[in-house]
Structure 1
C-alpha cells in the first residue's frame, strides 16, 4: 500500500489529478473503488451481525438490493450523466457541483458543512468495527490497531491521492472477494454444510419477533419483519445514490466503454461481497449458545461465528476486514478534506489559492480527519456510545437524505430549483439529527416505525424524491439561460467509432 502511494505521486501534480486521478481512471479501478468504498467493517461486522440475527437468511435480500439498486442501477442512471456534467462544470466535489449547477455559493457552503458533520460518525464506525475482531484474533490493545490502520491509510492517500486510493482499492477488493468466499464456505462447513445449517436455522424460534414464537421464521423467504427488512434494503442500497464519496467515483471514470464495463464489474463485486456478508450473518442464531446479544451487543455476533475457524482463515478474515475498512476510510477522508479545502476555504476564507496550495491543504486535512476519527472511535469503544449500525445509519440517512434527490434531479430535470435543494438539505439533515437526539436523550419520541435510524434514513431519502419536485413547482424558477447552458453538455456532438454506431 505504501509503495503504491509513493508510485502514484506523479499523479498528484494538481487538484484534478490529486482528487480525481486526472479523470482517466479505467473500469476495473473505478468499479473496485466504488465497491470497496461501499462495503467496510460496518457491513461485515455491524450490519451482517445485527440484521442476520434479526431477519435470518432473509437478510441476504440486503446484499441483493446492494447489487441491483445500490450498484447496477446507480451506474446506469447516474454514471454517464454525472461524468459529463461534472466535467462540463470542472467540478471535483459534490458541493462544488451544486454551487455551479444552481449558480449558488450558499448551496456549496451548506452542502460542504453537511458532509463535514455527518461523515465523522461514519468514519469513526469504520475503526470501531475492527475492535471486536482484533480482540478475538490478537491479544493487543485496540488503540494500536486504530493507529496502525490510520497511519497506513494516511501515508498512501497523502502520497498518491485518488490514483493511489483507486489502485489500493483494487488490491483490497481482490482480498475481499477471495476472503468472503472462503469465510462463508468455512462457516457453513462448521454447521455440516448449507443444507444442514438451513435445517438447523429452521428449528430456531424467538418470541421477541413481531410474528411471535414461530419455528422456521429465520429460514423463511422474507424473515420475521419484512417491513423493517425493506428499510434496511432501501437505506443500504438507495443511499449510495446520494453519498458524496460514492458518487464522486463517477467524476473520475475514463470513457463510455469504462462505464459499461464498470457497471458489470461493480454489480458482481457487490453481489459476492455484500450478498456473502448478509448470507453469512443470516446463520448467526446458530451460535446463540456462544454469544449473549443482550449484554455483548450485535457487534459480537460475527466475531463469535469466526472465533472457532482455523488460524489461517482467521488471518484471512482480519486482512479482509482491514482491507474493507481502509478502502472506505481512504474514500471518506479524501472526500472530507477536498470538500473543506475547495468548498469552504477556497474563495471564502482564502481568497487566492493555487493548485499547489490546495493540494497541500487537502493533505493536511487528511491528517486532521484521520486523527479526529481515531479519537472518536477510541472514545466510542471505551464508553460503548452506540452500535456500529446506528452510527452508520445516522450518517448515511443524513447525507443521502440531503443529497440524493437534489443530485438526481439536477442531472435530469431543468426545473429543479435552488430552494428545492435547500429544502432537501434541511429536511434530510434535520430529521436525522432529531432522530439521533430522540434516541440519545428520550426527550421526545419519533413514530414507532421511524425510531430506528435505519428506517428513518430510508424515509428521508424517499421523501426527498417528493420534496424536490413539489418545492420546485412553487418556488422561483431557475434562470433559463443558466439551465440551458448546464444541459448543453449533453447535446455536444462527439465522434463515435462504427462499432458503437452505424453510419448511414
Structure 2
C-alpha cells in the first residue's frame, strides 16, 4: 500500500512539474494583455479544439458525468446527447463569426468588451454588468473544480478534505498566475489528450466479459438501467426531466471560457478543422464517461459491500482497483488535468473581467499593458481565494455546482451573443435587457420548486432573455447608423478574413 502511494505520488509530481514548466515558458512569451488573455490570437486547430473541449468538460467529465451514469443508467444519455449537439452547434454557428467580429470590434479581448464595442456603448453599462455576472457565476464554476480536486486528493492520498482542496487550488493557480492564456491553452492540449485516453482505457480494461456481459448484468440487476424513457425506479421520465437534461446544450453559446478559444484561433480556416477535432473529442470522451458509470454499477455490486456512498468517486474506485499503481497514477492525473484545464480557464476569464472590464474601464483608462497584466494576476489570486472558501464544504456536488454556473452563463450571455452575431437591428438596450433578464432569471428560478419550476433554470432563462432582447430592441428603435454600419462591415470581413 505504501509503495502504491509512493508510485502515484511520484506520477502526480512529475505531471505537475511538466505543467509548471509550460507555465514558465509561456511567461517568457507573454508581454501584452492580448498575449495574457488571448495568447496573441495564435492558436492552431489542435490547441484551439482541445483547449475548448478540456476547459469545457472539467472535473465533472471524470467525476460528475460518470457519477450520474452510475446512479441513473441510460437516462444519462439525454444529458450527454444535449451536450454533444450543443458543442457542434456552438462551433458551427458562433466560432468564425465571433472571432471575426471581436477583431473588428476594437480587437475585443473579453466577452463584455466585445458586446460593449459591438453596440458602441459609451456608458460601459454592458461591460460592467456583464463582468459582474461573469464574476458571480465563475465563483461557483471554479469552486466545482476545487471540490473535484478535493475529492481526488482525499481519495488517493487519504488527505483531510480541507487540506486536499487547498492543495488543488495551489496547483491550479501556480501556472495560470504567470503564464496566462498560452500556458492555459497548451496545458489544456496535454490535459485534453490525457482525459480522452483515460476515459477510453479505464472502462475497456475494467469491462470484464465484454459489452454483452455488461448488458446482461445490468439487466439482471435492474432492467430500468437500460432504458432512456424510465428512471431507475421504473417511473416514466417526465417531459420536464427530459427537457432539463437536453437543455444543457443551450449553455454552450454563453460560456466565456469556451468562446475565448474561438477568439484566440489563428485563422477562420483553422476553425473548420478545430470543429471536427472538438466534436470528435467530445463524442469519444462522453461515451467513455458514461461507460465508466455503467461498468462501475457492475463492479461495485460485485466487489464492494453495500453501495458506494459518493457515486462521483466511481472513476477513482475503478482505477485504484484495476490498474498497477504507476498506471493508476497516470490515469488519476487525468482527473487533475480535467480539473486544472477548466479552473485555469475560468480564473483567466474572471481576471480579464476584473482587469479589462473593471479596472481599465472604470478606474484607469490609460492603464499600460503591464499594469493590466499585473491586475489580472492579482485577480487570479483573489478569485481563487473566494472560490476556495465556497469549495470547503465536503458535501458539495461537482455536478450541482457546475449546473448552476452553466445555466447562469448560458442564459445571461447565450442569447445576447447569438443574436448580436446575426441580427443587425439588435441595439444596446436590447443587449443590456437580455443579459440582465437572463442572469436574474437563473438566480430567482433556482430558489423556486414544484411543477414547471422544477425545469432546469437555463430553459426559462434562455427564453426570457431572448424575448427581452427582441422586444426591447424593437421598442427602443433601430440602432444608431454607426452600429448598423459596423455590423455590415463585420459581415463583409467574414467573407474575406482567413
| Shorter-normalised TM range | 0.7 to 0.9
CA contact 1:291–1:304 (8 Å) conserved in 2? no
Task: Indicate yes or no: 2:359 matched with 1:361.
Answer: no
Structure 2: how far apart are the matches of 1:370 and 1:39? 19
Q: Does 1:46 pair with 2:64?
A: yes
CA shift for structure 1 position 282: 3.8
Partner of 2:6: none
Q: Which residue of 1 aligns with 2:224?
A: 217
C-alpha change, 1:43 and 1:97, in structure 2 (3 Å) is: same
The question of whether the paired residues in 2 share the 8 Å contact of 1:96 and 1:108 is answered with: yes
Q: 2:473 maps to which residue?
A: 472
Which residue of structure 1 lines up, in the alignment, with residue 153 of structure 2?
Answer: 134
Q: Is the 8 A contact 2:46 2:274 kept in 1?
A: yes
Q: Indicate conservation of the 8 Å contact 2:100/2:494, yes or no.
A: no
Partner residue of 2:335? 321
The root-mean-square deviation of aligned C-alpha atoms, in Å, is 2.4
Q: How many residues are aligned here?
A: 468
SS at match of 2:321: coil
Residues 49 and 284, structure 1, Cα contact 8 Å, conserved in 2: no
Maintained 8 Å contact 1:53/1:283: no
1:22-421 mapped onto 2 (5 Å cutoff):
22-54=40-72, 56-67=73-84, 69-89=85-105, 90-104=107-121, 105-189=124-208, 192-205=209-222, 216-224=223-231, 225=237, 227=239, 228-235=241-248, 237-286=249-298, 287=300, 290=304, 296-312=309-325, 313-378=327-392, 380-381=393-394, 384=395, 386-421=396-431
> Are the counterparts in 2 of residues 418 and 478 from structure 1 also a CA contact under 8 Å?
yes
- SS state at 1:66 partner: helix
Gaps of 5+ in 2: 1-18, 232-236
Q: 1:495 to 1:220 in 2, by over 3 A?
A: closer
Q: Following the alignment from structure 2 to structure 1, what is the Cα–Cα distance between the partners of residues 496 and 65?
A: 46
| CA drift at 1:413 | 0.5
Using the TM superposition, give the Cα deviation of residue 275 of structure 1 relative to its aligned residue in structure 2, in angstroms.
2.4
Tell me if the contact between 1:60 and 1:282 (Cα under 8 Å) persists in the aligned partners.
no
Moved more, 74-83 or 192-201: 192-201
Deviation at 1:331, TM superposition (A): 0.4
Match of 2:462 in 1: 461
Structure 2 CA distance, aligned partners of 1:456 and 1:481?
Answer: 36
* Residue aligning to 1:501: none
8 Å contact from structure 1 (residues 24, 252) kept in 2: yes
Cα displacement (A) at 1:20: 0.8
- Aligned partner of 1:213 in structure 2 is none
Are the structure 2 counterparts of residues 424 and 493 from structure 1 closer, same or farther at C-alpha, using a change threshold of 3 Å?
closer
1:37-89 alpha-carbon deviations (Å, 9 max, x no partner): 011112321233125412x124234334333x232221111111001000011
Find the aligned partners of 2:407 and 2:69 in 1 and give their Cα distance. Answer: 17
Match of 1:435 among 445, 450, 473: 445
Sort the Cα spacing of 1:369 and 1:291 in 2 relative to 1 into closer, same or farther, 3 A. farther
1:502 equivalent in structure 2: none
**Which moved further from structure 2: 162-171 or 413-422?**
413-422
8 A contact 1:121–1:391 mirrored in 2:
yes
In structure 2, the residue matched to 1:11 is: 29
Distance in structure 1 (CA, Å) of the matches to 2:118 and 2:496:
26
Q: 1:14 to 1:410 in 2, by over 3 A?
A: same
SS in 2 for 1:483: helix
C-alpha deviation, 1:226, in angstroms: 6.4
Q: 1:233 to 1:305 in 2, by over 3 A?
A: farther
Residues in 2 aligned to 1:233 and 1:291: alpha-carbon distance in whole angstroms: 34
SS for the counterpart of 2:426 is: coil
Q: Which runs of 4+ in 1 moved over 4 A?
A: 288-293, 300-307, 493-497
CA distance in 2: counterparts of 1:430 and 1:362, whole angstroms: 27
Closer, same or farther in 2 for the Cα pair 1:492/1:231, shift >3 Å? Answer: same
> C-alpha separation between the residues in 1 aligned to 2:141 and 2:366?
32
Structure 1 residues 274, 375: CA separation in 2 closer, same or farther (over 3 Å shift)? same
Preserved CA contact (<8 Å) 2:415 2:462: yes
Distance 1:6 1:88 in 2: 32
Match of 1:415, SS state, is coil
